[in-house]
Amino acid sequence: MILFKAVTVKVSLMITLATVLLTSLSLAAKPQETESKPLPKIIALSPHIVEMLYDVGAGKQIIATTDFADYPEQAKNIPSIGNYIRLQLEKVIALQPDLIIAWKSGNPSDDLARLSQLGFKVVYSEPKTFRDIAKELRQFADLSGHSEQGRQVADAFLKQLDDIKDRYRDKQTITAFYELWSRPLTTIARGSWPQQHLNICRAENPFEQVSSPYPQVNIEQVLKTPIQLIIQPLSVNQKDKEGFNWRDWPTIQAVSENNIITPDADALHRMTRRSLLALDKLCLDIDKVRQSYLSGI
Amino acid sequence: MSQAQLHRLPIKLCLLALLCLSSIGGALTFGPVNIRAQQLLTCFTASCPTPVIDMVLYQVRVPRILVGLVAGMGLAIAGAILQNTTRNPLADPYLFGIVSGAGLGATIASITLANMLTLALPLAAFLGALFAVVIVVLIAKALQRMEQLLLAGVAVSFMLAAISQFLLYLGEPFATNRVLFWLMGSLARVELANFYVISSVLVFALMVILAFHRHIDALLLGDESAASLGVNADKLRLIMLALCAALTATIVAYCGGIGFVGLMIPHIVRQILGVTTIPLILGSMLIGGTFILWVDVIARTALENAEIPIGIITSATGSIFFLLIMYRTRKN
């Protein structure tokens, strides 16, 4: 009986050992399979797509891009195969990418149609809201073979977005003028990318209801509106002088109170994870001005 | 044209044809992807050394060169015919509002049909161009002065451009980019099917021009002399305008706005081959086609990672050419 028990224990041990061995072998074999499968070579046709791919860990797979892809630093070394006007089809063909990620409204649609026709896989990016950024982070991560990292980055992004929204949800609104360009003086309205920034930060845009998303305005229209804050985003490539000279108009409340903020236009306007950091900073700056008005009452 | 000039005409035309043919061969070797002459020969005689060269050559470069060739030919003969029939050396197909009309069509398509632009844009541009010409002709008819066709064209051009600009101002900003750069012209988007369409219209236009070539020559003597020879000047001008409009509209629809070719090439040809219709048309075709082939080579190779819109190069060279002509006229 004792002998039988000993044999049973031995057999059970052997079976367990064999199972563990097989499982570990199969587990060890699985990553090797994944590793052996080459990751797709990608052409990313806009700076925001390049940035998103770096965010999900697929930066090294980018074999070409378009002009102005300058973030992160490594992106400056990616060869360019065109710009927002035209792509060099011959170069795309020579590179033989597995995947082309294009910006639907920012790339030449005829060139993209031609590439699809030639048999290349073209996937489009068209983020309209912050939530679209998270969606595309996941999508690009799946397509580039980095699903897990993409999911983590997208989840963290959405959580951070919700945190910012919650922080300012019940704040009192402040009237702000958003200077998109200075010559001609151009602002934003509904349907534009930065309008959602103002909505989240509880800044009221007096031109929100204009039908054009990026309307040109007359300084007289600004003068007749009580503006408490002027937001003048500036790019790193832009000199301060290129912004509108608000000091010439001291009758505007925001100017007389020196409530002019100059956030980083590149981070604010590029539809990537970085825009959330810029949003956070913008809301903080707007809130400081809000507090100064509230404390002055 | 003197007898000696008449005898030299076939030689000159042969030389121009040779230049055009060698330009086709030469243009095939230029592009971002390096294809050597030896590899080209292998492609045409057997099969290409690599699938990449095969795709670049047959899907990109050959359609581009063929469309460039017929577009240059078409624009040049449209200019030549309009200049001869209106007896105005400044007549150019674009002065009749064709580009502004095409631009309006492209704008409407860009704003309303952004998801199906590949098909919608050329079609809308073609309809817009024809619409512009119809308006120009109706205005000239209403004024009962066909010689004012050009002035009516300029007015219609400004009117249609203003409508386009207003629509773009109201529309989304990317539509403005699309239309603006489309109007600068490019051969990068063309495919072989476009070549068949443009060359069919070109062949039809050539047949009509050849049928009426004596009538057009008679117009060079003046309306009264032409009438004494039995030519109805107004009717002939209308037919030729409709023909040139259809030809130019087809080219603009696929290639965008390629300016100055119709204005400039006939002037060069007149210096070499004379003013009568047949040599002028044949010469304009050969020089116009050759000119666009080389302009496109510059467009696709001048910048390392980008393309220059072809209309910029034709307009730049065209304006310099015009200034030179003005300078020469002053000296004479």
B269: closest CA of chain A, how far (Å): 33
Q: Is residue A14 included in any domain, yes or no?
A: no
Judge whether A102 lies within some domain.
Answer: yes
* A130, A296, B50, B202, B320 from A284: Cα distances, Å: 18, 18, 58, 64, 56
If one counts the domains in chain A, the total is 2
Q: Do A86 and A153 have their domain in common?
A: yes
Q: How many CB pairs under 8 A join A and B?
A: 86
Q: Which residue has the tokens 């060739």?
A: B69
Residues of chain A contacting B169 with CB distance shorter than 8 Å:
212, 216
Whether residue B9 is predicted with pLDDT greater than 50 in this model: the reply is yes
Instruction: Quote the ipTM score.
Output: 0.71
Beta-carbon separation of A94 and B174 below 8 A: no
Q: Do A157 and A186 share a domain, yes or no?
A: no
For position A183, which CATH number holds? 3.40.50.1980
Best probe of the B interface among A84, A89, A91, A195, by most B CBs < 10 A, is A89
| Residue of chain A nearest B177, judged by CA positions | A85
How far is the C-alpha of B146 from the C-alpha of B139, rounded, in Å?
Answer: 9
Partner-chain contact A110 B118, CB within 8 Å: yes
Residue B317: the pLDDT is: 84
pLDDT tens-digit series, residues B55-106? 889 988 999 999 999 999 999 999 999 899 888 888 888 788 888 898 898 8
User: Which of A77, A109, A111, A118 is the mutation pick for testing B, counting most B CBs within 10 A?
Assistant: A109
Residue where one domain finishes, among candidates A129, A161, A193: A161
Q: Which pair of tokens denotes residue A250?
A: 């001291």
Between B60, B121, B173, which is nearest A89 by CB? B60
The secondary structure of A245-289 as a DSSP string is -GGG-TTSHHHHTT-EE--BHHHHHS-STHHHHHHHHHHHHHHHH
In this complex, do B188 and A80 lie within 8 Å of one another by their Cβ atoms? no
Supply the pLDDT for residue B225.
86
Contact call for B309 and A110, based on CB within 8 A: no
Q: Which residue of B has its CA nearest to A87?
A: B306
Per the domain annotation, does A89 fall within a domain?
yes
**Pick from A135, A129, A70: which is nearest to A267 by CA?**
A70
Taking only the tens of pLDDT, chain A with its 297 residues reads 444 455 554 555 455 445 444 444 444 444 444 456 789 999 999 999 999 999 999 999 999 999 888 889 999 999 999 887 788 899 999 999 999 999 988 888 888 888 998 999 999 999 999 999 999 999 999 999 999 999 999 999 999 999 999 999 999 999 999 999 887 888 999 989 999 999 999 999 999 998 888 888 888 888 888 999 999 998 766 655 578 889 889 999 999 999 999 998 888 988 899 889 999 999 999 999 999 988 875
Task: Give me the pLDDT at residue B168, please.
Answer: 83
Same domain for A150 and A193, yes or no, is no
Of A134, A161, A188, the position where a domain reaches its end is: A161
Q: Are residues A224 and A263 in the same domain?
A: yes
Nearest to B74 by CA among B219, B214, B261: B261
CA atoms of A272 and A270, how far apart (whole Å): 6
In this complex, the residue of A79, A83, A110 whose CB is nearest that of residue B189 is A110
Structure tokens at A253: 């409340």
Partner-chain residue, chosen from A86, A118, A216, that has the shortest CB–CB distance to B186:
A86
CA–CA gap between residue B319 and residue B168 (Å, rounded)? 28
Report the C-alpha gap between A127 and A106 in whole angstroms: 11
- Nearest-Cα distance to chain B for A41, in Å, is 16
Spatial distance between the Cα atoms of A9 and A1, rounded to a whole number of angstroms: 12
Disruptive mutation site among B189, B191, B297, B300 for chain A (greatest number of A CBs within 10 Å): B189
A234 in the same domain as A153:
no
User: Which parts of chain A fold into alpha helices (H)?
Assistant: 2-36, 47-55, 89-95, 109-117, 130-144, 147-168, 195-200, 219-223, 253-256, 265-269, 274-296
Q: How far apart are CA A232 and CA B87, in angstroms?
A: 56
Contacts of B55 in chain A (CB under 8 A): 93, 118
Q: Which residues of A touch B305 (CB under 8 A)?
A: 67, 79-83, 88, 91
Residue among A46, A85, A211 with most chain B CBs within 10 A, to mutate: A85
Of A161, A182, A206, the residue at which a domain comes to its end is A161
The shortest C-alpha distance from B248 to chain A (Å) reads 21
User: Are residues A78 and A138 both part of a single domain?
Assistant: yes
In a domain, A9, yes or no: no
Task: Note whether residue A87 is domain-resident.
Answer: yes
Each residue of B120-142: pLDDT tens digit?
878 888 899 889 988 988 887 78
Same domain, A76 and A154: yes
Of B52, B170, B181, the CB nearest to A96: B52
Bridge-partner residues for A216, per DSSP? A186
Length of chain B: 332
What residues of B are in contact with residue A84 (Cβ under 8 Å)? 177
By C-alpha distance, the chain A residue nearest B60 is A90
Rg (CA), chain A: 26
Cβ neighbour number for residue A70 with a 10 Å cutoff: 15
Domain-located, residue A1 = no
Map out the domains of chain B with their CATH numbers: 3-331 (1.10.3470.10)
- Given A67, A109, A118, which is nearest B118 (Cβ)? A109
CA closest to B184 among chain A residues: A85
A150 with A181, same domain: the answer is no
| B179-204: average pLDDT | 88
Among A63, A67, A83, A110, the residue to mutate for chain B (most B Cβ within 10 A): A110
Same domain, A85 and A123: yes
B62, B67, B116, B307: best to mutate for the A interface, most A CBs within 10 A:
B307
Tokens of B155: 């007015």
What is the C-alpha to C-alpha distance for residues A68 and A132, in angstroms, rounded to an integer? Answer: 22
Tokens 């107004």 sit on residue:
B234
User: What are the C-alpha distances in Å from B14 to residues B18, B121, B226?
Assistant: 6, 38, 32
Q: Name the more confident of B227 and B118.
A: B227
Does residue A110 sit in the same domain as residue A215?
no
Contact B309 A118 (CB under 8 A): no
The alpha-helical segments, DSSP class H, found in A169-258 are: 195-200, 219-223, 253-256
Q: What is the mean pLDDT of residues B189-196?
A: 89
Q: Is there a contact between B173 and A213 if contact means CB atoms under 8 Å apart?
A: yes
What is the pTM assigned to this prediction? 0.77
Q: How far is B323 from chain A (nearest CA, A)?
A: 30
Nearest to A118 among B33, B59, B178 (CB): B59
Residues of chain A with Cβ-Cβ distance to B121 below 8 Å are 110
Residue at token pair 């790193």: A236
Residues in B closer than 8 angstroms to A106, CB to CB, are 174
Is residue A97 one of the residues assigned to a domain? yes
| Those residues with Cβ within 8 angstroms of residue A181's Cβ, 6 or more apart along the chain or in another chain | none
Note whether A103 and A60 are same-domain residues. yes
Query: Does residue A183 sit in the same domain as residue A289?
Result: yes
Residue A73: give the domain boundaries.
Answer: 42-161
With an 8 Å Cβ cutoff, the interface of chain A facing chain B consists of: 67, 79-91, 93-94, 96, 105-106, 108-111, 113-114, 117-118, 191, 211-214, 216
Sign, CA dihedral B107-B303-B192-B316, equals: positive
Half-sphere exposure of A169 (CA within 13 A, CB side): 7
Tell me the pLDDT tens digit for each residue of B251-294.
988 898 888 899 889 988 988 898 899 999 999 999 999 999 99
What is the 8-class DSSP label of residue A201? T
**Of the partner residues B118, B174, B307, the one whose CB lies closest to the CB of residue A86:** B307
DSSP secondary structure code for residue A75 in this structure: G
Rounded mean pLDDT, B295-312: 86
Tell if the CB–CB gap between B52 and A105 is shorter than 8 Å.
no
Is residue A34, in this structure, part of any structural domain at all? no
Across-strand partners of A124?
A102
**A91: nearest CB among B32, B117, B118:** B32
Q: Which neighbouring-strand residues pair with A230? A: A177, A260
